[in-house]
Structure 1
Amino acid sequence: MNRTIGLAHLSALHLSPPDLVEAAADAGFTSVGIRVHPATRSETQYPMAAGSFMSAQTIERLAGTGLSVRDIEVFTLDGHRGRKEWEPVLEAGAALGAGILNVIGADPDPARLTDSLAALVDDAAQYGIRPSIEPISYQPLDSVPAAGLLVDRTGCGIMLDSLHFVRAGSQIEDLKALPSGAVTVIQLCDGPAATPVLPVPHRMPLGQEVNGSARQIESRAKRLAPGEGVFPLREILAALPDAPISVEVPDVWAVEAGGTAAHLKHLHTAADTLIGSHLQTEMESTS
């Protein structure tokens, strides 16, 4: 199956949404994910409320480039946030034409998380958006099997981040056990077998927190392009043949050294090469 390649905002979070659209189009991507709500407490927020100047500018750039917004991010369910907080996020996503909301399960109470997510799913349906929980290796909701239970109980989707899939110890068999269509996006990246020991960047895009955590530094500041590490990416693609792809590879050092345009072009080339080789292998195995 031919797959189009989208770009996750985290790959170039220092770019505002309208600038991200332009840069993604120049690099060859066909869609983008856009951050309309902060992921960490210290993070600066782009003014992307529905009807804002930046939202309108982003919509204009989308029309001019032909790109679409596949997903928006990120809403954290922590046991305290509810409808009052998520309603503006859904409105911002609907204005952009997004169909997916990236959700983080940070609530340590599984029952409360399930109830909150179910309410969010119901509200989001009015906007044509499907909340999709992302298992994150350093959050309470960290594994594919746990996310699969939430799909069954709430009707949410799953955003599968290949980094956290590996770091949380999930298995390919876990993907095969999911309901059909559960994974709404594969966030594609690569990495070494073990979490690397990295210095804390002297500056993080939008002031993101890393808290001195090796996993958070890797996740938010230094990933590898698809095909440059040891993650089972071809096996993931084979297990999820219909899931859209969004390349999520932040690398603050690469951007500082070579610039954003070169970084994004490299990511598109790497993803295209990986997907092309996977498709060729699939064709040969069925011929």
Structure 2
Amino acid sequence: MSQLALIDAAPVTTGRALPGIQPFSVLRTDLGPWRDRRRAWEDLGLHSRRGRDVTTFNTGGSFGRKLADVNGGLSTFDPVLAEASYTWYCPDGGQILDPFAGGSVRGLVAANGGFRYTGIDLSPVQIDANEEAAADWRARDLLASEPRWIHGDALEELPELPTAHADYVFTCPPYHDLERYSDHPADLSTMRWATFAEAYSAIIAETVRCLARDRFATWVVGEVRNSTGTARGLVPLTIAAHEAAGARLYNDAILVNTLGTVPMRLGAQWRASRKMGRHHQYVLTFIKGDPRKATASLSTP
């Protein structure tokens, strides 16, 4: 199998250090080692934007702009974060559960490293695009395992999975209505905040049930604002829902994203409202059970 190892310095294998990328609480995607690693993944051919053509971006209540027209489609997931997270938190060949699968990146990176991956997504177009990307990687001998995508609502599909099914949960949920993915009534990005919070918390509870004991879960989230400009509280909601389900917050990190168009938008935004230019996300890792036992299940560099 042709892994990223053949292009870059470190194999995509659990427990092996990635060159220049350390488990610090500030993850610098804007620095050379991270950029180089991401470029190597992109050179393999990651089609994370396929299936997302209808996604639109909330610009003050208007959903008229496609993400592909906003900073080049900035919502695509960073493959280096997926690779590093799998390496740090998932046992060799472990089962990864992703209740908000979205694009193909997380599944392809997992399968390239020999992890078993199950992703759930509401969009049949997105599922087809992911399967198409996986077929391409399979034909080029880039998959050490077979990623699995389930078409459906996570609220309905997760209860069908066995208890203790997963060795690691890794996902990036909708940031409420920041990006709108469809008009489907089960799409969290279309819901009012109270309804969103209830459904979101129920999905988290199901992922914790599906997670084996003494295992980790990582959620990549960003804060969002309501119509008056104040923060909704998506980050504390994520923490509270995990705690209520029996998983405790273990690590919290800041993912520093590239600036993109933030400097161009900042001037008017700051003068009018004192809103800072946001170019980071939160990487929240939870533990179900004993963190020492969870760590003992992992390979050590």
TM-score bracket for the superposition, by shorter chain length:
0.3 to 0.5
Task: Specify which structure has the higher proportion of strand.
Answer: 2
Q: TM-score, normalised by structure 1?
A: 0.35
TM-score (norm 2): 0.34
